[in-house]
Amino acid sequence: MFFKVDKKQLLTKLNVVSRAISNYSPLPAFSGIKFDVNENEICLMASDSDISIKNYISKRDECFLEIEQTGSIVIEAKYILDIVRKMDTEVISIEVADGVNVKIYDETSEFNIIGIYANEYPMIDFTKGEDFFTISTMKLKSVLNQTLFATSDKDNRPYLNGINVHIHDGHVDCTATDSYRLAKTSFEVDSTIDYNIIIPSKSLNELLKSLDDDQEIKVHVSNKKVQFVFEDTLIQTRLIEGSFPDTNKLIPEQFQYELKVETRDILSAIDRMSFIKNDGINIIKLELNENESILSTKSQDIGSATEILKTASFNGESLAISFNGRYVFEAIRAIHADTITFKFSGEMKPFIIQSEENEEVLQLVLPVRTYL
Write down all domains in the chain, each with its CATH number in brackets.
2-120 (3.10.150.10), 132-247 (3.10.150.10), 251-365 (3.70.10.10)
The span from the CA of 113 to the CA of 305, in Å, is 58
Coarse DSSP helix, strand, coil percentages of the chain, rounded to the nearest 5 percent: 20, 40, 35
Q: Which amino acid is at 153?
A: D
Distances (CA, A) of 50 to 22, 93, 123, 190, 208: 10, 32, 13, 28, 16
Q: Exposed, middle or buried: residue 30 (CB in 10 Å: 0-12, 13-18, 19+)? A: buried
Task: Fill in the DSSP letter of residue 280.
Answer: T
Q: For 109, what's the count of Cα atoms within 13 Å in the CB-facing half-sphere?
A: 14
- Hey, CA dihedral for 12, 16, 21, 22, is it positive or negative? positive
Per-residue burial over 256-293, b if 16 or more Cβ lie within 10 Å, else e, is: ebebbbbbebbbebbeebeebbbeeebbbbbebeeeeb
User: Pick from 244, 256, 245, 243: which is nearest to 352 by CA?
Assistant: 256
Starting at the edge strand found earlier in the chain, the sheet holding 283-288 runs 303-308, 293-299, 283-288, 319-324
Query: SS3 for 154?
Result: coil
Residue 24 neighbours by CB under 8 Å, 6+ apart: none
Query: What are residue 111's DSSP bridge partners?
Result: 104
Please name the helix (run of DSSP H) or strand (run of DSSP E) that holds residue 136, with its range, or none. Answer: strand 132-136
Query: What are residue 70's DSSP bridge partners?
Result: none
- All residue ranges of the chain with pLDDT < 50 are 371-372
Query: What are residue 58's DSSP bridge partners?
Result: 41
> What pLDDT, on the 0 to 100 scale, is given for residue 300?
87
Please name the helix (run of DSSP H) or strand (run of DSSP E) that holds residue 127, with its range, or none. Answer: none
Residue 249 neighbours by CB under 8 Å, 6+ apart: none
> What pLDDT, on the 0 to 100 scale, is given for residue 370?
66
Q: Exposed, middle or buried: residue 24 (CB in 10 Å: 0-12, 13-18, 19+)? A: exposed
Q: Exposed, middle or buried: residue 80 (CB in 10 Å: 0-12, 13-18, 19+)? A: buried
- Contact between residue 239 and residue 337 where contact means Cβ atoms under 8 Å apart: no
* Torsion angles phi and psi, residue 316, rounded to 5: 130, 175
